[in-house]
Copies of this chain bind each other. A is one copy, B any other.
Amino acid sequence: MDLEYAGALNQAIRLLSLRHRARAAQLLAPLGLHAGQEALLLELDRTGPRIQAQLSEALGCEPPSVTLMTRKLEASGHIKRTPDPTDKRATVVALTSSGKALAEQIRQLWVTLAEETVRGLPADMLEQLPGILHTMSTNVGDKPPA
């Protein structure tokens, strides 16, 4: 692999990360949300109440991050945290009604963001793109099987 290609690729991924996240933050700000929180709300809306460990897995971030995010979203009134009756270690996280409403708005914003992001790309690329991105994620992200 070429030094120049590798640099261009990594730099492109880094820039896309920064800008996509920044744009998401702009769109989410009117809803009173910070970038990253939307994923948690969408996941809960998609699958129903879940344990924090499951959220951590689904969101691709570590348990301490989930602890803080859930605390803040609870303070904002969008989720509710209750002790799991069957496992005294765990706490289940569920959407409140305001959280459900917010999830719906986020989905609309995400259409806007996605359209904006892929503007000008050929149609056949649009088909492949999610798969490509997913492949790269798993290539670079799967836990060491130890």
Contact = CB atoms under 8 A, between A and B. Distances in A.
Interface stretch (A73-81, A82-90, A94-102, A125-133): A125-133
Contacts of A71: none
Given A21-B17, A107-B7, A117 B130 contact: no
A42 B116 CA distance: 30
A61 B42 CA distance: 28
Interface string A1-32: 11101111111111111111111100000000
A12 B141 contact: no
Given A7-B107, A17-B20, A1 B137 contact: no
B140 A20 contact: yes
